Structure formats: C-alpha cells, structure tokens
Structure 1
Amino acid sequence: MSIPDDLAEQLLNAIIDGTYPPGSTLPPEAELAEASAVSRLTVREAVKHLRAQNVVRVVRGRGTYVNPPDRWTALAPVVKAASRGTGGGLSEALIEARRLIENGAAELAAHRRTEDDLAELREHLATMRAAAETGDTEQFVQADIDFHDVVLRASGNLFVPLLFEPFGALLAQGRRETSAVPRIRANAIDHHEAVLDALATGDPELARRAMNAHMNQTADDLRTHVLKPAQP
C-alpha cells in the first residue's frame, strides 16, 4: 500500500469512527500533513482517492466535506462502514442484499447443479447438524458459509460468487452473532434442508421459494432473538 493509500485508509477510518461525521469538513491540507508527518502532496493524493469514491466532496473556497455513506460509490468503504455499525439497520440491509442475489442463484442452480454439488450440500448440512449438537458456533458458521458458496457456484454464472466476495467478513461476523443462539441454529438447519431438497428436484421456482423462505427466517430470527431478545 502506498503512503497516499495508507493515509486515505486512515482518513476513512476516522470518518467511519465519527471523528469526521457526515457533513463535517476535514482539517486543512497543511494541518493533515503535519499531523500525519507527510507532505501536502500526499494529503492531496489521499483526498483525491476518497473523492473518487465520493466519500468526500470538495467545495471550492470552503473545504472538503464528508458525504453520508449512502452517497459513497465504492463497495469497499461501504462494507467497512457496515462492519463497524451497530444496531439492526445494517444487518437487515445485508439480508435484503443477500435476498436479491441468493434467490436468483438458487433458481439458476436448480437448472445447473450437478450431483457433486448436491453431495457437497449434504456434507455441509451434516456438518451444521453436528456443530449444532456440540454447540460449536465457529464450525456451524463455516459450514453455513460453505453451503451457500456451493449454491452460488452451482448457479453456473461466474459473476454470482464474485458479487458476494466483498461481503465475506461481514457475513461471517453476522452469522457468528446469530448462530450463537440455539433456536436460530435449529431454524437454519431446517431451511438449509428445504433449499437442498428444492435444488434436488430441479424445479427453479421451488428453489427460489425455498431460498426466499430462508431469507425470511434469517430476518425474523435476527429481529426476534438478537435485536429484541425475549424478556425472562
């Protein structure tokens, strides 16, 4: 990573952490250069990088303003901001994005999956069951991720798995939070089994409905067991 890229990353982290909230201005170029022990040219290049992602905008004669995340145009900073977020809004937004991609992937996979794909899915489902019985959250999460990865690849479209690549760490983080709850693990197993059964039939509409039901279950479990835990 170059020095300007490193400084751009530091500034992005400061924006995400709230040091420079949306609508605020970054410190003047000279001040940033002195604070970071770099040249003003380096600061200029770092800000240029953030401008290219629409993280900040320059208003001539007034300064460099921080844009809200919903105006950012690059996926990497948005994912980083989401991974630092708290509350349910970002988690539910991620489920919505998953629904858009995974429902279609399941539909394609029903047409294109192979017997080897089905065998892999059965193996990952078996691992999920074993991990649920022993309370091994990490193993459960990995098997869950692996199951969905097979579905994405079984779609037969090279672009589909790539769409999920930037979400990797964020998905794993969210699944660790939800999969620690036994009721959620049980629900997930039931729905993964339904997705597998639907894919085995080769019926695209059935596969889409099964995956959509799984997304509904994921959203409901998040709201019921994680965001608003039941009172004793």
Structure 2
Amino acid sequence: MPLSDEIAERLLSSIIDGQYPPGTALPAEGVLADEHAVSRLTVREAVKVLRSQNVVRIQRGRGTYVNAPDQWTALEPMIRAAAGAPAAGAVAEKLIEARQLIEVGAARLAATRRTDGDLAELAETLDEMRAAAEAGDTEQFVQADIAFHEVVMRSSGNAFVPLLFEPFGRLLVEGRRQTSAVPQIRTNAIGHHEAVLEALRSGDPERARIAMDDHMTQTADDLRTHVIDKPA
C-alpha cells in the first residue's frame, strides 16, 4: 500500500473515532506531516484520497473540513463509520431497509429459478435455526439465518445479487445479533422463514415476494419494539 494511502487510512480512522467530527477542520498540512512523520506531499496525496471519497472537502483559504458520513461517496468508509456508530439500532434499521429493497426482488426471481437442491439447502438451514433457537444459541442462529438468505439470493439466478451484500458482512452479523438475542424475535423469524420457503416451493413469484416483504417488515418492527424502543 502506498504511504499516502496508509496516511489516508489513519486519517479516516481518526475521523470515524470522533477525533475530527463532521464540520471540523483537519489540522494544517504541516501539522499532519509532523504527526505522521511523513512529507507534506504525502499528506497532500492522502487528503486527495479522502476528497475523492467526499469524506473531506476543501474550503479555499480556510482549510480541509470533514463531511458527515451520509455525504461520503465510497462504500468502504461508510461501512466502517456505520460499524463504529453509537446509534447501532438506527444503523440496523437502515440496513433492514436496504435488505428489503434487494431481498424482496431476489425472492421473486428465486421462485421460478430455484432448484430442488436450493430448496433442500433452505430446509436444512431452517432446521439449524430451529435447533439453535431451542438451544438458545444466538450465534448459531445468526449463522443459519444469514445462510438461509444467502441461498435465497443465490437462487435468484443473478450473480450480481449476492455480491451486493458482500461488503456488509460485518454489519449483517452485528444486526442479526442484536435481534436474534431476543427469544420472541427468533420465534417470529422462524415463522417467516417457513413462509418464505413454502412460497419458493410453490413457484409463485408474487407469493414469494409477499412472503419476503412480510419477513423484512416484521424484522424491522421487531427491531424497533424489542431493541430500539425497549424500556431501559
């Protein structure tokens, strides 16, 4: 990795950690060069990297200012910022919204493109979810839940669909852990996964679309009820 990219990574980490909150200015080029024991040219190149991602902006005659994460244009920095955000519930809610946009369509496609092998794999992961719920094993439940949805997306027959969520791996796991730790949410999830599987077995695209949409809606409702709005 070029030294300028390394410095850009360090600066990004400092921004995500809150050392330089949105709206504040980064230290002057010379100060940053001294802090990181590099040349001013290296710092300049590092700042260019962050500017290309809209993490920072240049205000002529004033300095380099940090933008809010929702203005960033690169996926990796946004994911890192979301993973470190204190409002984890809000991040999980936004992730469910993104999942709903993609997974509902994936289920619709999968209804006519899934194979018998796909259906068998879905049934197997659903059995694993039931066993994990029975044992109170949140981690195993999360892994089985994620595996179920990965099979659905793969069954869409569109190779781009599974790749859309690949960068969100860590956030997906953390979001599932938040909700799957609640027994009632595990029960709700199993019921909705059963409905999705039956809809895919039927081969009816509209039924599959509705089943997945209902599941995503229930997941969002459960998150708000049992996690975000839960009394302290």
Listed as ranges, the matches of 1:38-53 within 5 Å are: 38-53=38-53
CA distance, structure 1, for counterparts of residue 206 and residue 86 of structure 2:
35
- Note the C-alpha offset of 1:224: 0.8
With normalisation by structure 2, the TM-score equals 0.96
CA distance, structure 1, for counterparts of residue 194 and residue 3 of structure 2:
49
CA distance, structure 2, for counterparts of residue 131 and residue 160 of structure 1:
27
Contact 1:195 1:210 in 2 (8 A): yes
For residue 14 of structure 2, what is the aligned residue in structure 1?
A: 14
CA distance, structure 1, for counterparts of residue 48 and residue 231 of structure 2:
48
Contact 1:224 1:230 in 2 (8 A): no
CA distance, structure 2, for counterparts of residue 159 and residue 11 of structure 1:
32
For residue 61 of structure 1, what is the aligned residue in structure 2?
A: 61
CA distance, structure 2, for counterparts of residue 139 and residue 89 of structure 1:
24
Q: Which amino acid aligns with 1:209?
A: I
> Secondary structure at the residue paired with 2:170?
helix
Unaligned runs of 5+ in 2: none
- Note the C-alpha offset of 1:230: 4.9
- Note the C-alpha offset of 1:127: 0.3
With normalisation by structure 1, the TM-score equals 0.96
> Secondary structure at the residue paired with 2:165?
helix
Residues 74-128 of structure 1: CA distance to partner in whole angstroms, max 9, x if unpaired? 1111111111112332221111111000000001111110000000000000000
Distance 1:224 1:10, change over 3 A: same
CA RMSD of aligned residues (A): 1.1
Unaligned runs of 5+ in 1: none
For residue 91 of structure 1, what is the aligned residue in structure 2?
A: 92
For residue 190 of structure 1, what is the aligned residue in structure 2?
A: 191
Identity %: 69
CA distance, structure 1, for counterparts of residue 179 and residue 212 of structure 2:
18
The aligned length equals 231
CA distance, structure 1, for counterparts of residue 145 and residue 78 of structure 2:
24
For residue 144 of structure 2, what is the aligned residue in structure 1?
A: 143
